[in-house]
Amino acid sequence: MKEYLSLIKFSHTVFALPFALIGFTLGILEKGTGLDIRLLVLVLLCMVFARSAAMAFNRYLDRDIDAVNPRTKVREIPAGVISPRSALMFVVLNCVAFIATTFFINPICFYLSPVALAVVLGYSYTKRFTWLCHVVLGAGLGLAPVGAWLAVTGYFAWTPVIYGLAVLCWVSGFDVIYALQDEDFDRSQRLYSMPAFFGKKQALRLSEWLHLFSAAFIVLAARLILGDDPQAGWLIWLATGFFLSMLVFQHRLVKPDDLSRVNVAFFTTNGIASVVYGVLVIGDLIF
């Protein structure tokens, strides 16, 4: 179990989970039905199954690439801790579990489950032909608030979609920062990433633009939730200010000629940003 949790980087679930819970909470308030524990458990299971399938498939597909990258050759598959066959079986089981779980939620989630899997699994192929691979990864995580909303309501709405776009740009931006570590390796292997294609300096500028768009969507989401009442939702505005400050902070940690704090910018900063933002927004919505 420990090795499989490491394979899928289970701790990284913290990035999208708070936004899924925001989408779920908005849906509950929209329907006015109160908390449904069974539905909440099903939504959480969908997140776990989809993300586990996506991460394991990425590790399976990249096993030969990881084996020659000094940074990744210690991962479970190239290190021989988990066999490729076992990893692929793990992917299949999680895909089946994801689709089966959506069946017990509602028809629209069930019908759209193959589309969601196509996005989260398809990301692993994109780095072989486009530097937009980071955006595809962001789109996969951006499905979280939309999917949670759909699970409760059964229909689309603008606020969860705006949150999905915020997550898309946010994740895309910090994935570009993380990819700075592999610029030379990606270029040598003819893999596509923004750092490999544009260079570190320009890639960081593109990351800043992605985070600027994320900030705009976060502010727009707050306006959609609160309307025009300037006195409402002070916790949401506090959450918004904190999230935006963390976006700025992570860009101050990383420079084209100094990547020593990439992991702090990627893991710590974004993990704290998502958890604090989620807690404050959900607290405001509930209380």
pLDDT > 80? residue 9: no
| Residue 225 token pair | 């939730």
- 10-24, 54-68, 144-158, 167-181: lowest mean pLDDT where? 10-24
Which segments within 5-163 are labelled E, that is strand? none
Position 103: which residue type? F
Per-residue pLDDT at 76: 87
Distances (CA, A) of 151 to 28, 163, 170: 10, 16, 23
pTM summary value: 0.94
Q: Using CA atoms, how far apart are residues 3 and 5, in angstroms rounded to an integer?
A: 5
Per-residue pLDDT at 124: 92
For the stretch 170-188, pLDDT in tens is 999 999 999 999 999 999 9
DSSP annotation of 69 reads: -
For the stretch 215-262, pLDDT in tens is 999 999 999 998 866 566 899 999 999 999 999 999 999 888 888 888
Q: What is the DSSP code string of the chain?
A: -HHHHHHTTGGGGGTTHHHHHHHHHHHHHHHT----HHHHHHHHHHHHHHHHHHHHHHHHHTHHHHHH-TTTTTSTTTTTSS-HHHHHHHHHHHHHHHHHHHHTT-HHHHHHHHHHHHHHHHHHHHTTT-TTHHHHHHHHHHHHHHHHHHHHHSS--HHHHHHHHHHHHHHHHHHHHHHGGGHHHHHHTT---HHHHH-HHHHHHHHHHHHHHHHHHHHHHHHHHHTT-TTS-HHHHHHHHHHHHHHHHHHHH-BTTB-TTHHIIIIIIHHHHHHHHHHHHHHHHH-
What are the sequence ranges of the domains in the chain? 2-286
As a whole number, mean pLDDT of residues 78-93 equals 92
Contact 99, 161 (CB under 8 A): no
Homologous superfamily of 2-286: UbiA prenyltransferase (1.10.357.140)
Q: Using CA atoms, how far apart are residues 185 and 14, in angstroms rounded to an integer?
A: 28
